Amino acid sequence: MAYDEHLADRVRDLVGREPGLTEKRMFGGLAMLVHGSMAVVVRGAGGLMVRVAPAEFDRLGAEPGATATVMRGRPMRGWITVAPSTCASDADLARWVDRGVSYARTLPAK
């Protein structure tokens, strides 16, 4: 399944100058990595997967349009799935992308 190229371009516009940024196709989408740690994934099914601090997981997962990411029937603690409608505005997209990139920056480089 192809991911939303327009959404990927919007994410690139937000993170394009981030030091250590790389892109990699995975999970049926396009992952943005910071120094080798995944930060944000533009999902093939639409919307985003955003890596968040474990301490923030419950609070952020309760926001409108956000749910815990589930893969192969198992919840992935530390990852939030953001609905496509929640990424529609530039401000909302920037807020979610910043959350993922900010947390990925705190992780050791790979």
Instruction: Give me the number of domains the chain comprises.
Output: 1
pLDDT tens for each residue of 47-63: 999 999 999 999 999 99
| 84 in a structural domain | yes
| 110 in a structural domain | no
pLDDT at position 23, please? 96
Q: Residue 70's domain spans which residues?
A: 5-105
| 63 in a structural domain | yes
| 100 in a structural domain | yes
Q: In CATH, what number is assigned to the domain containing residue 67?
A: 3.90.1150.30
Q: What is the mean pLDDT of residues 7-26?
A: 96
Phi-psi region of 46 (alpha: psi -120 to 50; beta: other; left: phi over 0): left
Question: Does this model's pTM top 0.75?
Answer: yes
Distance between CA atoms of residues 31 and 8, nearest Å: 9
pLDDT tens for each residue of 62-104: 999 999 999 889 989 899 999 999 999 999 999 999 999 999 9
Q: Does the pLDDT at position 27 exceed 90?
A: no
